[in-house]
Amino acid sequence: MAMTPRENFEAAMARSGAEWVPLDMGKHIGSIHKQHYADLKAHLPGVEMVNEGKILDRMAQTVVPDEALLEFLGVDFRWLVPNWVQVTERDDADGYIDMWGVPYKGADGDHFAVDGAPLKNAESIEDIEAHHWPDSEDPDQFDGLAERAKDLFENTGYVIGADAIKAGPLMSCLQIRGYEQFFVDMVVNPEFSDALMTKVTDLLCRMWTRYMEAVGPYVQIAYVTDDLGTQTSLLLSPKLYRKRVKPFHTKLHQHIKSCANVKLMMHTDGAVLPLIDDLVETGADILNPVQTSTAGMDDTAVLKEKFGDQIAFHGAMDVQQMMPGATPDELRWEVARRMKDLAPDGGYIIAPCHNIGHDIPPENTIAFFEMVGKMRCYPIALDDVLESNASYFDRLKREGGA
């Protein structure tokens, strides 16, 4: 009897007996930009997409994908998304102030960007306490999610995910304090930086307690986000991460896993190879997004060999450099390569490594999901696909991209 996507996911995470490579799309870092969504609708007239583009992530201007689209694309996951609460509209600009007090400003209707740091001029721990912090007990944040989770659990076989509360210990502190000042704090004023990280992490733990009280009996995966890398390096040294940030990641991750029987997926963009062992130690079970366009993350075969028995991988399909301009042969080669590198024996969820932007042709998005559908069954045997596109592989080697 064929597995359900939920059963298949559990087998893939156990590295034993999965029937296909799970496919994901639709969470708040990993959905579709509103303009691209409109383009997809125009290219898929036979798919009855009744959702007109409800915004999922206001900052990135991504949408909640329509159920009909998810079914058409063969996506195995359905994500529960916390409600946006305690958000104030700005009078002085096109934008808003989020629940942490961080202001955002619109950028030509394409996305919203951070536009200030409320604790930039704070001088003492007392100033931290005086800040207007979010109400971690706000019942509206998770209103309706228990019912949605129960319905999905009882009436579908999909993998059910608890999408991230849009905050992370490090990134929230960087935004609240200002990037430059908080990096300085971690070195010259660690008492202040620890106090701010403690405040944010404690609030997140309380929110996750309420979240899991609502959906914990039904979900199989929980998603947390906190960027640690740039295109070429880490945001901070491994030593500084281990001393000033890792304890807070560990506290949050272990707290979530104590609240529900879930696999914990951590999102961190960038060149984070030096910290993968550390992320495993914090309790992360799955690494997202495996941004292959960044230093050290491009050789997915090495990632699998070195870390595949410790952590699963999610993503690896580059939306930054590959998908916008790829030909069908190039796209097919990339899908086959990442699948062959990361999928053997399980431990891989294939997905675009970030949001699907409006610079990606809708034809490429549709082709990606179609190709995954044709290649993802176990046993993974894709040598013929790779060999048939050897000219592309040879060009990549010449250009230093493989």
**Neighbouring-strand partners of residue 298:** none
Contact status, residue 12 vs residue 313, Cβ threshold 8 Å:
no
Q: How many CA atoms lie within 13 A of 82 on its CB side?
A: 25
**pLDDT confidence of residue 399:** 58
Q: What is the CATH number of the domain that holds 29?
A: 3.20.20.210
**pLDDT confidence of residue 381:** 74
What tens digit of pLDDT does each residue of 61-112 get? 999 999 999 999 999 999 999 999 999 999 988 999 999 999 999 987 789 9
pLDDT exceeds 80 at position 310: yes
pLDDT band per the 50, 70, 90 thresholds, residue 382: confident
What tens digit of pLDDT does each residue of 230-259 get? 999 999 999 999 999 999 999 999 999 999
Contact status, residue 225 vs residue 236, Cβ threshold 8 Å:
no
Listed residue (205, 203, 310, 217) closest to 256, CA to CA: 205
What tens digit of pLDDT does each residue of 355-374 get? 999 999 999 999 999 999 99
CA 320 vs. chain centroid, Å, equals 15
pLDDT band per the 50, 70, 90 thresholds, residue 400: low
State how far the Cα of 393 lies from the Cα of 221, in Å rounded to an integer.
Answer: 35
Q: How far is CA 215 from CA 85, 144, 210, 380, in A?
A: 18, 10, 9, 34
pLDDT band per the 50, 70, 90 thresholds, residue 393: low
pTM reported for the whole predicted model: 0.95
**Cα three-residue angle 382-385-390, rounded to 5 degrees:** 125
State how far the Cα of 269 lies from the Cα of 72, in Å rounded to an integer.
Answer: 28
> Counting beta carbons within 10 angstroms of the beta carbon of residue 95, is it exposed (0 to 12), middle (13 to 18) or buried (19 or more)?
buried
- N residues, the chain: 402
Counted domains in the chain: 1
What tens digit of pLDDT does each residue of 259-293 get? 999 999 999 999 999 999 999 999 999 999 999 99
Query: What's the domain range around 252?
Result: 5-399
**pLDDT confidence of residue 53:** 81
Listed residue (245, 165, 243, 169) closest to 209, CA to CA: 165
pLDDT exceeds 70 at position 391: no
3-state SS, one letter per residue, for 123-187:
CCHHHHHHCCCCCCCCHHHHCCHHHHHHHHHHHCCCEEEECCCCCCHHHHHHHHHCHHHHHHHHH
Phi–psi pair at 191, nearest 5 degrees: -60, -40
State how far the Cα of 54 lies from the Cα of 34, in Å rounded to an integer.
Answer: 9
**pLDDT confidence of residue 402:** 47
pLDDT band per the 50, 70, 90 thresholds, residue 386: confident
State how far the Cα of 392 lies from the Cα of 221, in Å rounded to an integer.
Answer: 36
